[in-house]
């Protein structure tokens, strides 16, 4: 009798758990539909996190750092002349000014640019930064 009651309770639970899954597979076992509500919630959560951190984790290449902003300007001008397609930023991270270039999503992208500019700027190295997603180089 106890087994019968247990079976009668489990079967409806199994049936309802199957109906909550919004993912549908086609004949070739490829995913054709997903739970759009849960996906939207996840995207909204990610967007809020990006707003709180003012961007996403990324990489830049640091060329020079100094305590005086005037000492960085010649390096900035030289870089812009040699590599006009790569964006240049001066970042103030107390007490230093840092000349950084690029906005990269992955470390490998930053390393490629570092290797490109190293002959002209031997002290260049990659650094981790928070980057505005709009500025990411593709």
Q: What's the pTM value of the predicted model, to 2 decimals?
A: 0.60
List pLDDT tens digits, range 13-50.
Answer: 666 554 445 556 556 666 566 677 877 888 888 777 76
When the candidates are 3.30.1360.170, 3.10.20.600, 3.30.70.1070, 3.30.70.660, the CATH number that belongs to 55-135 is 3.30.70.1070
How far is residue 97's CA from residue 90's CA, in Å, rounded to a whole number? 7
> 18: burial class by Cβ within 10 Å (0-12, 13-18, 19+)?
exposed
How far is residue 112's CA from residue 107's CA, in Å, rounded to a whole number? 9
List pLDDT tens digits, range 84-129.
Answer: 999 999 988 888 999 999 999 899 999 999 999 999 999 999 999 8
Check residue 36 and give its pLDDT.
Answer: 75
Sequence spans of domains, the chain: 55-135
Check residue 16 and give its pLDDT.
Answer: 56
Contact of 109 with 59, CB cutoff 8 Å: yes
Q: Is 16 left (phi over 0), alpha (psi -120 to 50) or beta?
A: alpha
């Amino acid at each position: 009798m106890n087994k019968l009651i247990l079976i009668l309770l489990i079967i409806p639970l199994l049936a309802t758990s199957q109906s909550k899954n919004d993912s549908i597979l086609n004949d070739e076992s490829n995913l054709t539909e997903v739970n759009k509500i849960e996906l939207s919630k996840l995207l909204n959560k990610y967007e809020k996190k990006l707003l709180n951190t003012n961007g996403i984790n990324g990489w830049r290449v640091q060329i020079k750092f100094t305590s005086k902003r005037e000492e960085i300007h010649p390096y900035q001008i030289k870089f812009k002349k040699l590599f006009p397609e790569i964006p240049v930023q001066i970042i103030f991270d107390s007490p230093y000014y840092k000349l950084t270039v690029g906005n990269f999503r992955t470390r490998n992208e930053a390393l490629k640019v570092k290797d490109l500019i190293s002959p002209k700027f031997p002290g260049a190295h990659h650094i981790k930064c928070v980057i505005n997603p709009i500025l990411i180089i593709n």
